[in-house]
Amino acid sequence: MHIENLVEMDMFPEPFPVRVIYNRDKKFTYPSHWHNAIEIAVAAKKSSGIVINNRLYTLEEGDIVYISGGDIHGYPLSPGSERIFIIFDLNQLNNGNIFHEEYPYISKTILIKKDVNTELHSQVYRLIEEMLKERQILF
């Protein structure tokens, strides 16, 4: 992966357009960038900062953010934190036929706070845990 003019390139080294990453780098930062893929980020351990469209958000441990394709986002230094990233390209998964009926629901970035959006958070978090187990990523 690399960034050219804010666009993240070469995101999917394998033919299947999905990446699941558990980032344990306690000094992780990533510059502002965008891509067409959807990105889900979870603050797995400790709080984690994220900048989306020039606005800084703090994800408390367990919080989830769903980042719509095209939104500029980056990760400032959040010492000691760990993050889960799930990145997928709906266009490639669906042979270019983006989910037309669902598009209004998936085209906006959503912050899912565990203490505010409890039901939605619980459902999404359970699915993320299943993905990590399927990929044999220790959580």
48-52 sheet: strands from edge to edge: 30-33, 73-75, 48-52, 55-59
pLDDT digits (tens, 9 = 90+) for 5-33: 778 877 777 777 888 999 999 999 999 99
Residue 42: count other Cβ atoms within 10 Å of its Cβ. 26
Helix-strand-coil split of the chain, %, nearest 5: 20, 35, 45
pTM here is: 0.86
Alpha-carbon span 96 to 84, nearest angstrom: 26
Q: Supply the pLDDT for residue 102.
A: 58
| CA-based nearest residue to 71, from 88, 55, 49, 91 | 55
pLDDT digits (tens, 9 = 90+) for 76-135: 999 999 999 999 887 766 665 555 565 555 678 999 999 999 999 999 999 999 989 988
